[in-house]
C-alpha cells in the first residue's frame, strides 16, 4: 500500500488553510480557495472555511454545476420567479425591486431581464468602484440609459485609509469595496421601502457550501449584510471600529455607510434578498453575450491582466490587485477563477484551462500599479514587504529564480503530497 508523503507537513500554514493541497479533477480549483464570509467580522485572526473537495476528487463548485444540469427544473424555477415578481410588482410604476451593481455584465443582465422580460421596475444602486477604469465608467454611464440609479460614494479620505489597512492587515485591498457592495442594497431597500432585492449568482457557483444553493427561497444569507453594531467586534480593514476611531482618528460619522442593518432593522422591515441565478441558469459567458446584445455593454479593448478574458471585472483599477493578492495568499489567481468557471460551463476543456492557468495566472497587474500605490499611500518597498510576508510556506518556495508555487494545477503530478482529484 502506497503511503502519501506530505513533504510540507512541517512548513508554516497561514490563514487556517488546509495543509494538504488538493486540486479538483474536473476543473482547476484547489481546496485553498476561501468561501465567502461575513466581511465585517474579518480580522487578521479570522479563519475561513475553504472549498470542499470530496473523496471522489470533485469540488463543490463542480458538484453545483452538475446539479444545475441534472437536478434543477429550470422551467419550474422560472414559474417561481414569476410568482415572486407578481407578489412585488408595482401597479403604479414605482420601483418594486432593487438591483445592486456597477454596470458590469452581471448587474446589466439581471436588471434588464427583470425590467424588460418580467415587467418589474428595478432601482439600480451602486457602491462605486474604488478607482473607476475608463471602460468601467463608460459601461456604468450606458447602463443608466436603461435604469434609474442611486449611487452612494463613501468619504474618500476614510475609504483610502480602509483600503490601505485592508491591504496591510488582511492582504485584501478589495475588502472595503466588498463591504459597501454587500450592504448598500439592504440599506437603501429600507430607506426607500423596497423590500425585494435581486443579487446575481449564488456563491455556490464558486465553491461555497453547496447547501446554500439548495435553499428553497434562494435567499442571500443574512450574515452577509446584517450584524449588530458591536464596535469591538465589527472590523473594517482588519481593524475594529473602536480602534479606527480611537487609534486612527477616524470620525465615527464617516463609518456609517459601512455599517450593516441590524436584526432589529430586519425585524421591522423584512427584506427578501434573492439570487437571480437561483431562478435563471447562470452562465457567465452567456450573461456577457446578453449584456452586449441587449444593453450596449462593451468588453475591455485589451486582455485583462492576470487572465485571458476581456469581459469580467472591468470596473475597478484595483481589481487586478485583488486577484494578485488571492494568488499570493491562496495560490489562486484570476486565470484560475475564470478557467474553472468556463470548464464547469462547458466552454473549454480542463486541458485548455490548465494551459491558460499556466500562461496567465499570477501575472503582475502593472498597468495601474503606480496609481494604486498612490491611492493607498504606500511605497513600492512597503508593498513588496507586505506581499512577501503574506506568502504561506506550504504554498511558496524561493530559489535563485525567485518565488514560485510549490503546487499548481499544471505540474501537481510532480508532488507526491498533492492529490489531483481522485487520482
Phi, psi of 389 (to 5 degrees): -70, -25
- Examine the pLDDT at 316 and tell me if it is beyond 80: yes
For residue 323, give the H/E element and its range. helix 319-330
**All structural domains of the chain:** 73-278 (3.40.50)
8 pLDDT higher than 70: no
Residue 202: per-residue pLDDT: 85
For residue 240, the cross-strand partners are 235
Does 366 have pLDDT greater than 60? yes
Q: Does residue 91 or residue 219 have the better pLDDT?
A: 91
The pLDDT value recorded for residue 414 is 43
Return the bridge partners of 398, or none. 403
Is the pLDDT confidence value at 54 over 50?
A: yes
Residue 86 · residue 97 · CB < 8 Å? no
The model's confidence at residue 213, banded by pLDDT at 50, 70 and 90, is low
pTM metric for this prediction = 0.91
Mean of all residue pLDDT scores within the chain = 91
In this prediction, residues 5-14 reach a mean pLDDT of 67
Inter-residue contact 48 to 37 (CB < 8 Å): yes
Average pLDDT over residues 236-247: 97
Start-to-end C-alpha separation, the chain = 15
Q: Is the pLDDT of residue 100 over 80?
A: yes
The pLDDT assigned to 43 comes to 85
**Contact, 149 vs 123, CB < 8 A?**
yes
Dist. CA 34–CA 206, nearest whole Å: 10
| Residues 247/249/254/260 CA torsion (nearest 10 deg) | 10
> Regarding predicted confidence, which is higher, 358 or 206?
358
48 has a pLDDT exceeding 90: no
Look up residue 352 and give its three cell numbers.
Answer: 485548455
- Whether 298 has a pLDDT exceeding 90, the answer reads yes
Cell readout for 219 is 435567499
Q: pLDDT confidence of 290, banded at 50, 70, 90?
A: very high
State the residue for C-alpha cell 442593518. Answer: 261
C-alpha span between 307 and 334 (Å, rounded): 6
Q: Is the model's pLDDT at 291 over the cut of 60?
A: yes
Amino acid at each position: 500500500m502506497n503511503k502519501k508523503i506530505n513533504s510540507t507537513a512541517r512548513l508554516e500554514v497561514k490563514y487556517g488553510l488546509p495543509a494538504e493541497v488538493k486540486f479538483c479533477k474536473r476543473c482547476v480549483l484547489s481546496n485553498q480557495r476561501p468561501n465567502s464570509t461575513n466581511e465585517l467580522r474579518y480580522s487578521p485572526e479570522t479563519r475561513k472555511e475553504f472549498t470542499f473537495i470530496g473523496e471522489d476528487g470533485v469540488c463543490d463548485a463542480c458538484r453545483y454545476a452538475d446539479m444545475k444540469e441534472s437536478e434543477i427544473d429550470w422551467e419550474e424555477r422560472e414559474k417561481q420567479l414569476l410568482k415572486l415578481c407578481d407578489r412585488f410588482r408595482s401597479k403604479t410604476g414605482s420601483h418594486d425591486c432593487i438591483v445592486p451593481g456597477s454596470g458590469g455584465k452581471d448587474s446589466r443582465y439581471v436588471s434588464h431581464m427583470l425590467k424588460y422580460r418580467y415587467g418589474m421596475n428595478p432601482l439600480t444602486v451602486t457602491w462605486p468602484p474604488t478607482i473607476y477604469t475608463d471602460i468601467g465608467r463608460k459601461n456604468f454611464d450606458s447602463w443608466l440609459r436603461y435604469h434609474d440609479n442611486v449611487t452612494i460614494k463613501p468619504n474618500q479620505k476614510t475609504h483610502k485609509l480602509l483600503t490601505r489597512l485592508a491591504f496591510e492587515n488582511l492582504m485584501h485591498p478589495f475588502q472595503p469595496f466588498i463591504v459597501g457592495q454587500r450592504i448598500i442594497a439592504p440599506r437603501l431597500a429600507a430607506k426607500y421601502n423596497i423590500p425585494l432585492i435581486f443579487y446575481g449568482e449564488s456563491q455556490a457557483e464558486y465553491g461555497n457550501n453547496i447547501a446554500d444553493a439548495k435553499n428553497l427561497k434562494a435567499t442571500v444569507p443574512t450574515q452577509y449584510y446584517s450584524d449588530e453594531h458591536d464596535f469591538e467586534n465589527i472590523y473594517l480593514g482588519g481593524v475594529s471600529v473602536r480602534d479606527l476611531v480611537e487609534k486612527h482618528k477616524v470620525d465615527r460619522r464617516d463609518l456609517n455607510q459601512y455599517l450593516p442593518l441590524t436584526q432589529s432593522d430586519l425585524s421591522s422591515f423584512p427584506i427578501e434578498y434573492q439570487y437571480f441565478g437561483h431562478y435563471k441558469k447562470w452562465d457567465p459567458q452567456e450573461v456577457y453575450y446578453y449584456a452586449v446584445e441587449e444593453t450596449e455593454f462593451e468588453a475591455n479593448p485589451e486582455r485583462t491582466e492576470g487572465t485571458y478574458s476581456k469581459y469580467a471585472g472591468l470596473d475597478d483599477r484595483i481589481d487586478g490587485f485583488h486577484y494578485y493578492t488571492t494568488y499570493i495568499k491562496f495560490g489562486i489567481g484570476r486565470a484560475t477563477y475564470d478557467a474553472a468557471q468556463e470548464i464547469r460551463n462547458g466552454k473549454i476543456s480542463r486541458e485548455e484551462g490548465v494551459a491558460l492557468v499556466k500562461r496567465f495566472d499570477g501575472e503582475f497587474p502593472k498597468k495601474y500599479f503606480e496609481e494604486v500605490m498612490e491611492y493607498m499611500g504606500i511605497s513600492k518597498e512597503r508593498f513588496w514587504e507586505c506581499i512577501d510576508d503574506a506568502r504561506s510556506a506550504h504554498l511558496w518556495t524561493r530559489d535563485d529564480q525567485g518565488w514560485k508555487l510549490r503546487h499548481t494545477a499544471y505540474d501537481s503530478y510532480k508532488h507526491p503530497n498533492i492529490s489531483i482529484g481522485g487520482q
